[in-house]
Structure 1
Amino acid sequence: MSNGSTFPPPRRLRRTLLIALAAVVALGAAGWLVWRAPGGGPSRTGTSAAGSPAPDPKGDTGVPSTGAPSVRPGNPHGSLKGRTVLLDPGHNPTNHDHTRQIARLVDIGNDRKECDTTGTSTDDGYAEASFSLDVARRARTLLQAEGAKVVLTQDGDRPYGPCVDERAAIGNSAHADAAVSVHADGSDVGHRGFHVILPDRVRAGAADTSAIVGPSRDLGERLAGRFVAATGSAPSNYVGHGTGLDVRSDLGGLNLSTVPKVFIECGNMRDPKDAAELTDAQWRQKAARGITEGITDFLTR
């Protein structure tokens, strides 16, 4: 019996409500997917709508200006099996006992430079050579745990050197897949942060970097990104215009390399704040991890 109402009977009402509910759910899901899509809103990868890394709410380090890839969560154990890595600890702890030998000039392709130097030190006398050897040894342990074969240019087993041309030759002879020379800088107080030195295009004499400039930059950018993540250090405030990257054509270890190679200046030993980190064993372990992860990123890209 009709009472004149326009409402549908109960069965038709339930069907209508179910159809409406399904439509709302579908529209809501579609809207969520659009918002999560690239350019539609924040995502768990931390990438902004423009495609560049979003600022870290805990403090933006500025490394995105290097163009370095986003830091990945990690690499599987043994991911470097079959790969060879050259680690080049800068200078030598006993170079100061062999000043005549390290002062002789060697050919770096576009110039002639000293075989090696003594390096710098902190105000308290902690030598760059001791720092670089310690970090390289720590990085070797981490890289070997990932399955890599690791070659060191020196392991405290030489009276001095090797010379810069021999350092390059060791990596070339090993057919290294990646090479990193570990250093710390000796600049003015107030100059802080790390920087990665990339090879410039050099074709002169025995030097020809044309084949390694591109892959070396890739290695350097990944190394810079990982070093920030591992150590919390900022890119240099005095070299590289805030990018953490510097291109040079006057280093024999880069000029004469035929494998992808970069230098990393882990900090400034002459600045008290940087020196406090460089002399801390726990920080050096972080530095070794950053170097290891940068190399791993490059070799598993």
Structure 2
Amino acid sequence: MSITRTRRTAAAVLAAGLLALGGCTIGDVDGAGDPVAPAASEGPAADAPDPTPGAGAPEKSTPAPAPGGAAAAPRAGTLAGRLIYLDPGHAGTPPPAEEMVTDGRGGVKQCNTTGTAADDGWPEHTFNWELAGRLRALLEDAGAEVRLTRADDVGRAPCIDERARTENDSGADAVISIHADGNGEGARGFHVSHIADPLPGNLPAESAALAGAIRDAMLEAGFTASNYLGAGGIHPRADLTGLNLSTRPKVLVEFGNMRDSADIALLRSAEGQDRLAAAVAAAVAAGIAAYLG
């Protein structure tokens, strides 16, 4: 389909940005309605970047994650012949504030954003990048080909509409957009979003099956479902460009709230990230089996 890029004046975007601070989800607002700072688009998505856990993250000791079971990663060969696209949400460098793209439903959104951050400034885009590296390694060990929508955690990255088109063109068996939310203390837990109010070209049944598999695996691994968005860890959305434009089985996972002390301890620890990645890797294998047979 042809996507027409539109631009707003910097003044209009600034006015919208003054509504609040922080937040997440692919150039959109977070669960608390907070707009986010922009990040960027430049060139096509990289097929095989090499995210390095810990790269760009400040040194900090964190409390141990909440107790829970460790999900068993999929066995070697389980995902042989499958292509998985991972979208580590946001990017390290923002684009011009006025750079806008379609939202897939007749409106526009910022090209990309840097995402939310923990109270001490540790950025969401770095969490997304680190978790993508861990998840990629597990999926490749299971035999999958894995591609990422951005090449590093420093520079500019493709706009949200470009990412969706690249994922679609690849024919991926599953697409997972990796995020963390920005809300207040006490708002805890993960939630998984699949397409709501499907558009022509979306794959709602397959996306819902993938979302359910990820939710189930995370609950079984001892993670807490969101107590402030969605129900039982599932939060369908119709306002996200990446889901609206998708023609592949696709979900967006908000792995926790970066501004809650318990959630950020989990999200920032190596052990917590390993457990999260293992749960999602197992769920991808189960989800693909559910909708591809």
CA spacing shift, 1:142–1:73, aligned 2, 3 Å:
closer
Please tell me the residue identity of whatever aligns with 1:215.
E
> Cα distance, 1:118 vs. partner?
1.5
Percent identity over the alignment is 40
Q: Which of 254, 268, 287 in structure 2 is aligned with 1:279?
A: 268
The answer to whether 1:169 aligns with 2:165 is yes
CA spacing shift, 1:248–1:167, aligned 2, 3 Å:
same
The answer to whether 1:235 aligns with 2:225 is yes
Unpaired runs of 5+ in structure 2? 1-67
Higher helix share: 1
Please tell me the residue identity of whatever aligns with 2:99.
R
Structure 1: distance between partners of 2:162 and 2:122: 26
* 1:209–1:255 CA contact under 8 A, matched in 2: no
- Paired residue for 1:184? 180
Question: Once superposed, which parts of structure 1, at least 4 consecutive aligned residues long, lie more than 4 Å away?
Answer: 72-75
- Paired residue for 1:24? none
> Cα distance, 1:282 vs. partner?
1.1
| RMSD, aligned α-carbons | 2.0
Unpaired runs of 5+ in structure 1? 1-60, 62-71
> Cα distance, 1:76 vs. partner?
3.6
Once the two structures are superposed, the pairs formed by residues 1-301 of structure 1 within 5 Å of their partners are: 75-95=74-94, 98=95, 100=96, 103-110=98-105, 111-156=107-152, 159-203=155-199, 208-210=200-202, 212-230=203-221, 232-241=222-231, 243-301=232-290
- Paired residue for 2:45? none
Determine helix, strand or coil for the equivalent of 2:112. Answer: coil
* 1:216–1:260 CA contact under 8 A, matched in 2: yes
Structure 2: distance between partners of 1:292 and 1:155: 21
Structure 1: distance between partners of 2:194 and 2:128: 18
TM-score under structure 2 length normalisation: 0.71
Alpha-carbon displacement from aligned partner over 1:40-77 (angstroms, at most 9, x marks no partner): xxxxxxxxxxxxxxxxxxxxx9xxxxxxxxxx977442
Determine helix, strand or coil for the equivalent of 2:194. Answer: strand
> Cα distance, 1:247 vs. partner?
1.0
Structure 1: distance between partners of 2:76 and 2:114: 37
Question: Which structure's relative contact order is higher, taking Cα pairs within 8 Å and 6+ residues apart?
Answer: 2
CA spacing shift, 1:74–1:121, aligned 2, 3 Å:
closer
Report the structure number with the largest CA radius of gyration.
1
